[in-house]
Amino acid sequence: MIAIVFVVSIFLLRQSARSPEYLSPLDRGILTMVSPIQSAFATSARSLGHLAGRYVDLVHVRAQNEQLRTENDRLRAELLEAKRGAAESVRFQRLLGLRNSLTAETLAARVIAIDVSPYFQVARIQLDRGENLVQRGMPVITPEGVVGRINRVSGDTSDIMLSVDPRSAIDVVLPRSGGRGILKGKPGENGYRCAIEYLMQGDQAKVGDAVVTSGLGGFPRDLPVGRVSKIVRNSAGLIQGIEVTPDVDFARLSEVLVVVAPAPPPDPEASVRRPLAPSHGLAVYH
């Protein structure tokens, strides 16, 4: 029995190496059953977190008299609720702003789990609608910047491979120098870090330089990705090592946008004025 278990494990590993996105009907069934529970856990965890935060805020007012404390408690609770509501409203407004500013078609989704395993930087999202529109490889963004790509889809839940995962690759540019490279996750680091590969020595980068998307690979153009935090120049080689700190705080990710259809290509002749050609059949009367 033990041998069979290990043979099945190795078979699964080989299958994962060949087609990582594949999910069997059994997997889909399990995920369909587990996702609502996971979502409920996430909602409960958030509520408990808010309650705990409220309790911590209230501890220091215990010394005050009962009337003032009751009044203070009520006002504080209301204030916290209002702040939370305002923060949520700002987040939604920013998300909506980003959505309206993009010509690409997007879908909003809620993050229900993130970084379950420290060895695979993956987040799980749940869509409110349009579950059949999401496919593997679709970009995922927030107003702060690039989050990653859809890696696996099952019903209304999808896994995002974060931009800091070593398996991720995103085409980026440094607007200041015009340098271009591939952003990849950096394994073996505490915290979320990534690095730009294949950036030529001639493209002089500086610490603090902004890194944005190039517009290739499905991501909308000029989306913030992060800032250059470290540069390693190799005198012998042509390529320099650039470490990037992402703009997105992945630990606090709560809502995201999935780019389900890229922006239509710009019309190169949009600004050209053409003379009116004589029509056939319908004449233009002056």
Partner 1 sequence: MRSLATLLVGLLLLLLQSTVMEFAPVHLVTPSLGLLVVLYVGMATLKWAPGSAVMVGFCLGYLFDLVSGAPRGVHAFVFASVALLARMLAWRLAVRGIVLKAAIAFVASIVAGFLIVVVRAQISPESGYGGLAQAPLEALLTAAFGPPVLWLLARLDGRLDPALLRVGLARRRARALGHGIPHR
Q: If binding means CB under 8 A, how many residues of this protein chain bind partner 1?
A: 57
Specify whether the CB–CB gap between 169 and 186 falls below 8 A. Answer: no
Q: Which of residues 185-204 bind partner 1 (CB under 8 A)?
A: 186-192
Phi-psi region of 170 (alpha: psi -120 to 50; beta: other; left: phi over 0): beta
- Residue closer to partner 1 by CB (options 37, 276) is 37
Q: Is 284 in the site for partner 1 (CB under 8 A)?
A: no
Phi, psi for residue 276 in degrees, rounded to 5:
-70, 125
CB burial class (10 A; 0-12, 13-18, 19+) of residue 177? middle
Distance CA 26, CA 121 (A): 24
Site string for partner 1, 245-264 (x = CB under 8 A): ------xx------------
Q: Which of residues 60-119 bind partner 1 (CB under 8 A)?
A: 113-119
Q: Is 237 in the site for partner 1 (CB under 8 A)?
A: no
- Residue closer to partner 1 by CB (options 212, 248) is 248
Phi-psi region of 21 (alpha: psi -120 to 50; beta: other; left: phi over 0): alpha
Helices (H), the chain: 2-18, 25-59, 66-101
Q: Is 31 in the site for partner 1 (CB under 8 A)?
A: yes
Residues in contact with partner 1 by CB under 8 A are 1-2, 5-6, 8-13, 15-17, 20, 22-23, 27, 30-31, 34, 37-38, 41-42, 44-46, 48-49, 52, 113-120, 122-124, 151-152, 159, 161, 166-167, 184, 186-192, 251-252
